Amino acid sequence: MSVMRTTSKVLAAGVLTAALAACSQTDTSMQSGVSEADVAGGPVVMRRITEGQYERIVAQVFGNTIELGGRFEPDVRAGGLLEVGAGRVSVTPSGFEQYDLMARNIASQVLEEKNRRILLPCTPAAADAPDDACASEFLAKVGRLLYRRPLTQNELAIQVNKAAEATGALGDFYDGLELSLASMMVSPPFLFRQEIMEPDPDRRGQMRLDAYSKASRLSFFLWDAAPDPLLLQAAENGELHTKAGVQRQVDRMLASPRLKDGVRAFFADMLEFDTFETLSKDTTLYPKFTFRVVEDASEQTLRTIVNHLLTEDGDYRELFTTQRTYLTPLLGSLYRVPVATPDGWAEYHFNADDGHAGILTHLSFVALHSHPGRTSPTLRGKALREILLCQKVPDPPGNVDFNIVQDTANPNFKTARQRLDAHATEPMCVGCHKITDPLGLALENFNTIGGYRNTENGADIDTSGELDGVKFGDASGLGQAVHDNPAATSCLVNRIYAYGVGREATKSESEWLKDQVSARFQADGFKLPRLMRDIATSETFYRVLPPDSEGQMAFASGNAPMQVVEK
Amino acid sequence: MSAVNMLANRRRVLRGMMGGTAISVGLPFLNCFLNENGTALAATNQKMPTCFGTWFWGCGLNPGRWEPNTLGPDYDLPPEVVSLEPIKSKVNILSGFKVFTDGKAQQPHHTGNLGLLTGHVSKNAGQDVSPSVDNIIADVIGNGTRFKSIEVTSTGNARHTQSYRGGSVVNPAEVSPAALYTRIFGDEFQDPNAAEFTPDPKVMARRSVLSGVNEQRRDFERHLGAEDKERLDEYFTSLRQFEQQLDFQLQKPPPAEACVIPENPGETPYSLDIEEATANHKLFAELLAYALACNQTRVFNVVFTDEQSTVRRPGTTTTHHILTHEEAVDEDTGYQPMATWFSYRIVEQFSHMAQVLDGIREGDGTLLDRTLVFGLSETGFAKVHSLENIPMFTAGSGNGAVRTGLHVSAKGDPGSRVGLTMQQAMGVPVTTWGTDSLQTSKAITEILV
């Protein structure tokens, strides 16, 4: 043991230096005046379709009565987004098993007698023999929607041939077709978004996405779904290679009710609502925290966002201050406010004096970023920095010694603030806790499941705090400080762009986002649909670098570690 | 249900397994597990197939409270490992091994397990990860069964896996015993002891149609960059493995003396509640044991608690992980009592897993005798994320490949020596393994036969 202690001390000194170095790294990439013509574009990334996209495509192509009957491989988050992580994953053997199971389930429902009349465009000459013409018609039609592009001749020929073989073996046309369809649904062009590039006729020596890849990028960006027939048609007839054509399609898509799906998917991804799935609260201590609460909590925030940003065309920053939200009676019981509707959702305005303001005070934030049995100002502050301001908080040093705060039962340390203050006297901890805790402590009125409280262990809770030099007294002050912080809006711009292209912005893209897109976002009053239109109609959004070219490694350090702010 | 009860029920009638008319089988038998007369190997003196598993938990054990005082055989059992008593003669305890970071920043609760399981500490989380020993071993011993490997976690989160395929790809873990049951023993299971065998024409047709995906490989690979192409290669490896799975369904399975279809455990709640995790672990242990006994797989991975060991006791506010960092050390006993409570529960479950395997008799031996289980954590003293003296165990002799009942103590040797030993014991032709200071060619000769 004595040997080990000595080693720990030596290591401690080394890690401290490293942590401080990480904390003081500054972003020196400040430049001005990047015009769109200067932006080189970035690499294409093959993305595995997410669970939500898979479900939506199936509903789009075959109707929403189809049951999937399987489970998905976990998606992976990178650069703050599952949509970026989707560009780093593949399909594992057990994942393939599940895709196969779902594909067969779906195909069998599609070719059930009651459905085939609607979904099959032809009737085979005989029900017990191959009919290549009919199989080809069906597989080409459905395949174009599933693959988001027409099948190549070779692809279609193989699928038709396999359907015929299976029909021969099983003695049933529909069974054969079913297996061929199922095999398409485990094929790479369905499971992955494979973007295809071609030489750009307008920019000699440069590459662009082909029309179908443009259609997919656009439609997953705005709708979180595969292109609809109109968009595929626009790809087919060349419309998407003209500026006016892209604008026409983007405006049509922004006006569609499906924009809501896209906006919900983006925010569910950015706010990490997928982690609700494995969120566990102690049910002995918090019997009200059930599966239903988890569902309602993310829905509350998504409804608030959609209403504010789309229905009201509101200012993005006001999400951090708005007192308007939507509640179910169940959520009302957790927030301890009355909800009139016996079931379903009701609009609700929090009062100025009940402490709730903005999405940071929603259960979906304070409960998601807590420990199972108690709050964590550090986790909440870290989440705010990383998720909403796009700032990377350094990890704690490996050999941190928690002796200072270990005594949670100490009667002198009743509140989280007192415990953290004790912790923060340790120089190796103070640097990074300064980045997180003053934000999280402002949310201490909300317990680990989001319920409101004024005291902890009988002691009054002090909710004062500070964000980058702006001091505030409580959660609504924190919301206002985030509202006023330019990092909140630049973070959104960067995240939504990364979400669209499936990777973090390259250096030249980042500069364009900062100089051009963010400036227009501000001038437009921080309206999300205008930001989405700006990106979706830009040329940058569709510019690509050839595979493995030099430029693709030049990613901007959008997630540079936080600087310790000394005030 | 205990393993013993399951054995008593082993002749349970298999309903619905034998649909269709028996026909003669046109496909070659999988003859690698059969002797010339086609009888099961257990009935003869030939070796049964070897199996391998990893069993992982987070947050280590308390230094000084688990390492036996004596070396070699007949070791004593310090307080945190007393539950190994019933199975001690088949268990090795390995102490004093460490993971070196070679100046790379430690990723707390991750660097240790990466070092032990992959022999390589990556610079950034989730990137540049080498394959873990289970995958390397499965490439050698895992190709003769329906599933190349099976991963489970008791924590309810499929991401809690310790099976790394290399790059950023991991094998996700099953979280639900009921789902695992269906996957192994559901409709597609073929009873190795059934008298008749009928290959399912639909499976044959599926197999043939899927080969069409391979035939289009060149179309699918067009326009891809090198990294994406690698990911597509990974996809095609998975497809190939799945095709092999179907191939196994088309061949009459060799008889398996100890194969019993366990009862469907039904849906069980899963979460980070240690009681639920324990209940699910027991179900997983039984399902995995019968998956091995029924020749469904040769390789498995169990995560009992995740890297950070975020399990908690019902009714308490702190997780095992937080307790290891924040709980006061009791001055009288010298350890953290609430955190240590979890140490006991963890070692009990490792012991339980070994005992379940040992409870399945096959010929003169047990299933554990032909299995090698590599138990490990990710940290020595979790309170300070120490990478020294990380607790490791093995259970079973892997068909006589390792000696058991021994305590081996190293003096700060690279922990990759254990992974190298596991690979050599399982027949992987490897002499040197690991990178930087974890590179080693010194297997643990004390246990390697």
> Which of B228, B249, B250, B275 is the best residue to mutate to test the A interface, defined by the most A CB atoms within 10 Å of its own CB?
B228
Whether A162 and B224 lie within 8 Å, measured CB to CB: no
| pLDDT band, very low/low/confident/very high, at B39 (cuts 50, 70, 90) | very low
Token code pair at residue A61: 């192509």
Residues of chain B found within 8 Å of residue A173, distances taken between Cβ atoms:
none
CB contact, 8 Å: B411 with chain A? no
Inter-chain CB proximity B216 and A155 less than 8 Å: yes
Looking only at the bridges linking them, the beta strands covering A192-193 and A47-48 are antiparallel
Q: Which residues of A touch B327 (CB under 8 A)?
A: 406, 408
Q: In whole angstroms, what separates CA A314 from the centre of its chain?
A: 21
Distance CA A181, CA A305 (A): 38
User: Could you tell me if A177 lies within 8 Å of chain B, comparing CB atoms?
Assistant: no
Q: Where are the beta strands (DSSP E) in B171-310?
A: 299-303
Q: Which of B204, B234, B272 sits opposite A280 (nearest CB)?
A: B272
The tens digit of pLDDT for each residue in A296-351 reads 999 999 999 999 999 999 999 999 999 999 999 999 988 888 888 877 899 999 88
pLDDT band at B3 (very low <50, low <70, confident <90, very high): very low
How long a stretch of residues is chain B?
449
Average pLDDT across chain A, whole number = 86
> Which SS3 state, helix, strand or coil, does residue B414 take?
strand
Query: What pLDDT is recorded for position B189?
Result: 93
The nearest alpha carbon in chain A to B225 belongs to: A547
* Interface membership of B19 toward A (CB under 8 Å): no
Per residue in A451-475, pLDDT (tens digit) is 888 888 888 989 999 999 999 999 9
Q: For residue B316, give the chain A residue with the closest CA.
A: A373
Which chain A residue's Cα is nearest to B237?
A93
B247/chain A closest Cα distance in angstroms = 14
Alpha-carbon distance B263 to nearest alpha carbon in chain A (angstroms): 22
- Give the span between the Cα atoms of A524 and A531, in whole angstroms: 8
Q: Which residue of A has its CA nearest to B98?
A: A4
Q: What is the pLDDT of residue A214?
A: 97
Predicted pLDDT of residue A144: 97
Q: Which residues contact B427 (CB under 8 A, 6 or more apart)?
A: B50, B140, B141, B401
Q: Rounding to the nearest 10 degrees, give the CA dihedral for residues B80, B84, B90, B95.
A: 0
Residue A534, pLDDT > 90, answer yes
Q: What's the confidence (pLDDT) of residue B264?
A: 96
* A2 at B interface, C-beta within 8 A: no
Q: Does B165 touch chain A (CB under 8 A)?
A: yes
Residue A220: its pLDDT value, please?
Answer: 98
Which pair of structure tokens corresponds to residue A84?
């970026």
Q: Three-class SS of residue B145? A: coil
Write down the ipTM of this complex.
Answer: 0.87
Q: State how far the Cα of A527 lies from the Cα of A522, in Å rounded to an integer.
A: 8
Q: What is the pLDDT of residue A411?
A: 66
Q: Does B320 touch chain A (CB under 8 A)?
A: no
Phi, psi of B247, rounded to the nearest 5 degrees: -55, -40
A337 vs A350: CA distance, rounded Å? 9
Of the candidates A89, A373, A407, which has its C-beta nearest B317's C-beta?
A373
Chain A CB within 8 Å of residue B312 CB: yes
pLDDT score for A418:
82
Q: Which of residues 519-558 of A touch B (CB under 8 A)?
A: 547-548
The predicted pLDDT at position B42 comes to 46
Give the tens place of pLDDT for each residue, A509-519. 999 999 999 99
Which residue of A lies nearest to B161 if distances are taken between CA atoms?
A74
Task: Kindly tell me if the per-residue pLDDT of A92 is higher than 50.
Answer: yes
Q: What is the pLDDT of residues B120-137, one digit of tens each?
A: 998 877 778 899 999 999
Closest Cα in chain A, distance from residue B248 (Å): 14
Q: What is the pLDDT of residues B401-442, one digit of tens each?
A: 999 999 999 999 999 999 999 999 999 999 999 999 999 999
- How far, in Å, CA of B340 to CA of B78, rounded? 13
Of B245, B322, B384, the CB nearest to A399: B384
Neighbour tally for B322: CB within 10 Å = 24
Does the beta-carbon distance from B208 to A191 stay under 8 Å? no
Asked if the C-beta of B286 comes within 8 angstroms of chain A's C-beta atoms, the answer is no
| Lowest-confidence region among A4-13, A143-152, A281-290, B86-95 | A4-13
pTM here is: 0.85
Average pLDDT over residues A39-66: 92
The pLDDT assigned to B115 comes to 96
Confidence tier at A566 by pLDDT (50, 70, 90): very low
With contacts defined as CB-CB under 8 Å, which chain B residues touch A372? 272, 312, 317, 319
Residue among A165, A186, A408 minimizing CB distance to B326: A408
Q: Which long-range contacts (CB under 8 A, 24 or more apart) does A548-555 make?
A: A548/B225, A548/B226, A549/A43, A551/A40, A551/A506, A552/A42, A552/A43, A552/A506, A554/A506, A554/A507, A554/A508, A555/A503, A555/A504, A555/A505, A555/A506, A555/A507
Do the Cβ atoms of B239 and A283 come within 8 Å? no
- Pairwise CB contact (< 8 Å): A90 & B238: yes
Chain B nearest CA to A15, separation (Å):
8
Most B CBs within 10 A among A6, A51, A91, hence the mutation to make, goes to A91
Residue of A nearest to B217 (CA): A188
Residue B40 predicted with pLDDT over 50: no
Which residues, 6 or more positions from B406, have their beta carbon under 8 angstroms from its beta carbon? B72, B73, B75, B92, B93, B446, B447
- Say yes or no to pLDDT of B43 above 60: no
- Alpha-carbon gap, residue A320 to A475, rounded angstroms: 10
Least confident interval from A42-56, A411-425, B81-95, B330-344: A411-425
pLDDT value at residue A410: 62
Q: What is the count of residue pairs from A and B with beta carbons less than 8 Å apart?
A: 206
3-state secondary structure at position A336: coil
Whether the Cβ atoms of residue B221 and residue B232 lie closer than 8 Å to each other? yes
Tell whether B63 is within 8 A of chain A (Cβ): yes
Residues whose CB falls within 8 Å of the CB of residue A169, separated by 6 or more in sequence, listed in order: A176, B201, B204, B205, B208
What does pLDDT average to over chain B? 88
| Eight-class DSSP state of A384 | I
| Structure confidence at residue A339 (pLDDT) | 87
What pLDDT is stored for residue A351 in this prediction?
83
Q: Would you call A405 and B326 a contact, using CB atoms and an 8 Å cutoff?
A: yes
The residues in A 268-307 lying below 8 A from B, measured between CB atoms, are 278, 280, 282-285
